[in-house]
């Protein structure tokens, strides 16, 4: 639920000026002016796993911290968690999400639930249904999406941690639950059924709690207008537009990005959240894994891959979000600020990270200057 704050209610007493000193008091109750929360968020989906390694994250002065406690004390007011249906090793399971949701709410932050509708990563090139759903027919898959979504939201609400925002799929440029809800290549005419499946999730969420906002989240901005035109043409239901923006994948023309985002806001009259953003503080690495960003031609020339450049990039994102027309800029969510590289005696892939140079903690696990952007917004 997006928090709204009443800014004022006022009473005006109009004093009569007649000779008998009579007074007439008029009480006015205008429509309240409201202010939406501007989200300075983080995706901390890795924390449920990383906490088990007792890693020593530190603040900017080198003092040990608990990541969630620290970032929420520094202005982070939205935490995003991804949910997989039946994940290997229980990572991103409903139980893990429920446990961490309790921590989020205890810190007073809002909670963004990212339902992938998969047993693993879902993105524009990968939308594999849960293995247990593969043999369902169209009628069964609709009912299953509805029932699963409703169960997830109900369980979270029952423990006192209903999400404030729920994504119906993750980066659904090409639809989701392939091939049931695929809208790509030979399935380009499948929009009616994709939207029907998405609406089953929407209906389930609103039936549990009508105050929960729903989000349709896609990657990039260049085709966003066409996507949401098709979604709305097919009577898709949603509250918020969610966008991932990674310059190396989605384009480095900052003017095009800003103009496209502003056009989305005026065309569809929806709030917009930059659901996934990040930027490197260095092009070096701290393990033997290949990083997503490792070359100078992958970044923006305006923002160098330095701690100061990372901070300035984040300030620019805030500026873009706060200047979206009609107050439709909802904020941003930084992806995996904690996914550091470390050594461990345990047999786990977590020892390596393809993301450590885009974290908000340096190679000594100290918080970087970019954390100050969360404090100031």
- Which are the catalytic amino acids? 171, 276
Rg (CA), the chain: 23
Instruction: Report the C-alpha gap between 293 and 300 in whole angstroms.
Output: 11
Instruction: Report the C-alpha gap between 184 and 176 in whole angstroms.
Output: 10
Question: Among 101, 42, 251, which residue's Cα sits nearest to residue 261?
Answer: 251
Q: Give 90's contacts (C-beta < 8 A, 6+ positions apart).
A: 96
Instruction: Report the C-alpha gap between 42 and 152 in whole angstroms.
Output: 21
Instruction: Report cis status (omega within 30 of 0) of the bond before 274.
Output: no
Question: Among 153, 181, 151, which residue's Cα sits nearest to residue 165?
Answer: 153
Ranges assigned E (strand) in 44-192: 78-83, 110-115, 165-168, 175-176, 181-182
C-alpha torsion 133→137→142→146, nearest 10: -40
> Cβ distance 83 to 97 under 8 Å?
yes
Question: Among 82, 85, 86, which residue's Cα sits nearest to residue 112?
Answer: 82
How deeply is 44 buried, as exposed, middle or buried, from its count of CB atoms within 10 A (0-12, 13-18, 19+)?
A: buried
Hey, is 166 helix, strand or coil?
strand
């Amino acid at each position: 639920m997006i928090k709204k704050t009443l800014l004022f209610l006022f009473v005006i007493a109009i004093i009569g000026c007649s000779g008998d000193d009579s007074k007439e008091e008029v009480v006015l109750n205008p429509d309240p002016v409201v202010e939406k929360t501007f989200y300075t968020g983080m995706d901390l989906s890795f924390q449920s796993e990383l906490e088990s390694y007792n890693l020593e994250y530190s603040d900017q002065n080198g003092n040990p911290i608990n990541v969630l406690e620290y970032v929420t004390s520094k202005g982070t007011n939205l935490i995003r968690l991804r949910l997989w249906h039946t994940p290997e090793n229980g990572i991103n399971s409903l139980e893990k999400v429920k446990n961490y949701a309790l921590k989020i709410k205890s810190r007073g932050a809002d909670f963004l639930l990212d339902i992938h509708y998969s047993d693993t990563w879902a993105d524009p090139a990968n939308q594999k249904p849960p293995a247990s759903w593969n043999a369902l027919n169209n009628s069964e898959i609709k009912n299953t999406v509805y029932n699963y979504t409703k169960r997830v939201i109900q369980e979270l609400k029952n423990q006192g941690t209903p999400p404030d925002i729920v994504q119906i799929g993750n980066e659904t440029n090409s639809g989701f639950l392939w091939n049931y809800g695929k809208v790509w290549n030979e399935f380009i005419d499948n929009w009616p059924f994709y939207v029907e499946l998405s609406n089953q999730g929407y209906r389930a969420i609103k039936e549990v709690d009508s105050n929960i906002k729903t989000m349709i989240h896609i990657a990039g901005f260049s085709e966003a207008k066409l996507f949401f035109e098709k979604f709305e043409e097919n009577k898709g239901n949603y509250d918020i537009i969610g966008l991932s923006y990674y310059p190396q994948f989605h384009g480095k023309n900052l003017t095009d990005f800003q103009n496209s985002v502003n056009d989305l806001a005026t065309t569809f009259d929806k709030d917009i959240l930059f659901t996934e953003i990040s930027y490197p503080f260095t092009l070096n690495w701290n393990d033997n894994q290949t990083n997503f960003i490792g070359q100078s031609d992958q970044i923006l020339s305006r923002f160098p891959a330095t701690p100061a450049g990372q901070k300035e990039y984040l300030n620019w994102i805030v500026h873009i979000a706060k200047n979206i027309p009609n107050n439709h800029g909802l904020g941003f969510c930084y992806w995996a600020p904690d996914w550091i590289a470390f050594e461990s005696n345990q047999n786990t892939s977590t020892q390596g990270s393809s993301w450590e140079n885009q974290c908000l903690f340096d190679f000594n696990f100290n918080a970087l200057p970019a954390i100050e952007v969360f404090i100031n917004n």
